[in-house]
Amino acid sequence: MKKTVTRLADGRELLYYDSRTDTVRDAVDRRPLDAARTVSEIRRDPLLGDHVAVASHRQGRTYHPPADACPLCPSREGRLSEIPADDYEVVVFENRFPSLAGDTGRCEVVCFTADHEASFADLSEEQAALVLAAWTDRTAELARLPAVRQVYCFENRGAEIGVTLGHPHGQIYGYPFVTPRTEAMLRSLAEHAARTGGRNLFDEVLAEERSKADRVVLEGEHWTAFVPRAARWPYEVHLYPHRRVPDLPALGAEAREEFPRVYLELLRRFDRIFDAAGSATPYVSGWHQAPFGDWAEGGPARGDFALHLELFTVRRTAGKLKFLAGSESGMSVWINDVPPETAAERLREVASR
């Protein structure tokens, strides 16, 4: 892999990731952009302890542009985009309308392919491996920023999720705090270790799912994907490497090599849940990684956290969405219409032949 670092016209960083080491990236951003300015503030809820990002400049972000004005497609004569090159493999750049910036963290955009009509599931294993390499590199780089405590690489797909750009892409958030979801995992991890004489909760969850197998969706030599016993979403899958590591940079070579095949199969099954022809299922997919810094003083070590990917869809059946109404939105008490065992069975039924 070759990484080329450059700058956009307004000073934001852009990085090309190429599979060939002899690729030259020297295109210049010719847009007349003013220097990037953002106004982002982190406020803390005194009752819940949660952090909320206030970013009023995002009201003006690009919203459902036509395909011929997509800001994530390569630049062409007469149509300059966020990517100066006329073609690319994988590109990462600082978000023009970030939720977090400067002292409040960092937000980046990841373009998986130059093909506007593709999706992640359409990528080859080689292309998916390059995206994994980009996620890994960005995690390691953002970990060095003083303002960043945790890195979250994720993809939102589909208008039903709220995606405003149709081009296949994801995002990377560098949070300046440990997120509430991760804090809850760390509490459970510490409580389980205290209760069981030091046993690791992540290890035991994975071992139990693999031994019972009724919620296992697919299993490789180094990865297992399963529907969790208390899944919140109608179709929700967690993907774990068999050897526990805290983050993407710590992932072993064998697991890294197998990941593209396993993950692409999982995404393709999601596209077949509701339609045998494989229509695009809206989903959120994201990597849960251990935070950085002194987050675990008196608690579990960073290596006790288990890197894993969580994938879910807001669709509960063909033509119907799972809305977060009173109980979920108001009280954080989830109600799932699809039993996890049923969801796992369906995801096994739509396996590639």
The dihedral sign for the CA sequence 265, 266, 272, 278: negative
Q: Which residue from 348, 352, 353, 351 is spatially nearest to 215, judged by alpha carbons?
A: 348
Q: Which amino acid is at 50?
A: D
Residues 174 and 148: beta-carbon distance below 8 Å:
yes
The dihedral sign for the CA sequence 186, 188, 193, 194: positive
The DSSP result for 325-350, as a single string, is -IIIIIH-----SS-HHHHHHHHHHT
- The Cβ of residue 352 has, within 10 Å, a number of other Cβ atoms equal to 9
List of residues 6+ apart from 117 with CB closer than 8 A: none
* Cα–Cα distances in angstroms (integers) from residue 279 to residues 120, 166, 218, 270, in the given order: 13, 15, 21, 9
- Indicate left, alpha or beta for 9 from its phi (over 0: left) and psi (-120 to 50: alpha): alpha
- Indicate left, alpha or beta for 235 from its phi (over 0: left) and psi (-120 to 50: alpha): beta
Cα–Cα dist 142/150, whole Å: 9
Token pair, residue 181, equals 């979801």
Cα–Cα dist 353/341, whole Å: 22
Helical (H) or strand (E) element with 311? strand 308-313
Active site residues: 169
Q: Which residue from 21, 251, 302 is spatially nearest to 137, judged by alpha carbons?
A: 251
Query: Which residues are registered as beta bridge partners of 154?
Result: 171, 286
Residues 266 and 217: beta-carbon distance below 8 Å:
yes
